[in-house]
Amino acid sequence: MSDHSALLRQIPGIVHGFGDKQALLPEHLRRYEATRPEKKQVHGTRIVDVTVPGQQCGEADGFITATPGILLAVFTADCLPVIFCRKDGKEIAAVHAGWRGLIDGILEKMAQRINQSGDTAQWVASVGPAAGACCYEVSQELIDAFIQRVDLPSELITPYQRHLDLAAIAEAKLRALGFADVDHTGSCTICSPDSAGTGFRYTSFRRNSHQRAQNPTHPGISGRNQQSGIMIL
Ligand SMILES: [Zn+2]
């Protein structure tokens, strides 16, 4: 069973879900896959207005639409998917935000875009499964860059030494940007076990890199990223 946001579940007229290893694209979204915009995610901050199914978006990491029948979905493996919806269900958005997107301001760009034609106070946001603070150890240089460039308490950015809390940073930013409500769905993509307890729940770029370092014949994650998406029915 794929992850759902309790917040988004209350909104009428939309479908959404966060993928995992078992269903990279959640089962109930699969039939809409052909409508997903074509894009190359590059850890950037470019946001595209999507108006037609399968739209060619080029290099982009954020998508927004008010058009029914277009699945906005982003691929992730340790990076954060963030799904947005206006409270009346009439406009939706999705963002792929890794550490680079967070530090470079993709959430701020999305809030700006929403505020051009509306108000973030009329929208909610759900932060999906990503590398958790339990596992996401990074360089001290990166921690220092976050503390310098992101206006949040350092104990929120890094609850354990040299561990970055992507979801907490995203949630705090979204609240500061005026979203009506924010929730966090799913768990750590690096360490969460699957339901059988014999393997892992999510595809993880970090875990895969470690496996490949030990065994170069281990397959990469290409084609195995999970997808998180939302669509207006
Ligand atoms: Zn973990």
Q: Which domains does the chain have, with CATH numbers?
A: 6-97+104-130+179-232 (3.60.140.10)
What is the distance in A from the centroid of ligand 1 to the CA of 202? 11
Amino acid letter, residue 228: S
CB 200: neighbour CB atoms within 10 A?
16
Query: What's the mean pLDDT when you consider all of the chain?
Result: 96
pLDDT tens figures, 103-160:
999 999 999 999 999 999 999 999 999 999 999 999 999 999 999 999 999 999 999 9
| pLDDT value for 221 | 87
Ligand 1 centre distance from Cα of residue 56 (Å): 35
Number of Cβ atoms within 10 Å of the Cβ of 76: 26
* 166-217 confidence digits (pLDDT tens): 999 999 999 999 999 999 999 999 999 999 989 999 999 999 999 999 999 9
The pLDDT value recorded for residue 222 is 85
Residue 179 and residue 3: Cα distance in Å, rounded? 21
Cα distances (angstroms) measured from residue 110 to each of 27, 164, 177: 27, 22, 10
Q: Confidence class of residue 230 from pLDDT cuts 50, 70 and 90?
A: very high
Distance between Cα 29 and ligand 1 center (Å): 27
- Separation of CA 209 and ligand 1 centre (Å): 15
- CA 167 to centroid of ligand 1, rounded, Å: 12
Q: How confident is the model at residue 223, as a pLDDT?
A: 87
How far is the centre of ligand 1, averaged over its atoms, from the C-alpha of 15 (Å)?
28
**From the CA of 136, how far away is ligand 1's center (Å)?**
7
Ligand 1: distance of its center to the CA of 193 in Å? 10
Task: Give me the pLDDT at residue 73, please.
Answer: 98
Q: How many helices (H) and strands (E) does the chain have?
A: 7, 11
Ion ligand 1: residues, CB < 5 A:
132, 134-135, 188, 190-191
Q: Is the pLDDT of residue 23 over 90?
A: yes
Residue 1: band (very low, low, confident or very high) from pLDDT cuts 50, 70, 90: low
How far does residue 3's CA lie from ligand 1's centre (Å)?
17
Question: Contact, 169 vs 150, CB < 8 A?
Answer: yes
Average pLDDT over residues 13-24: 96
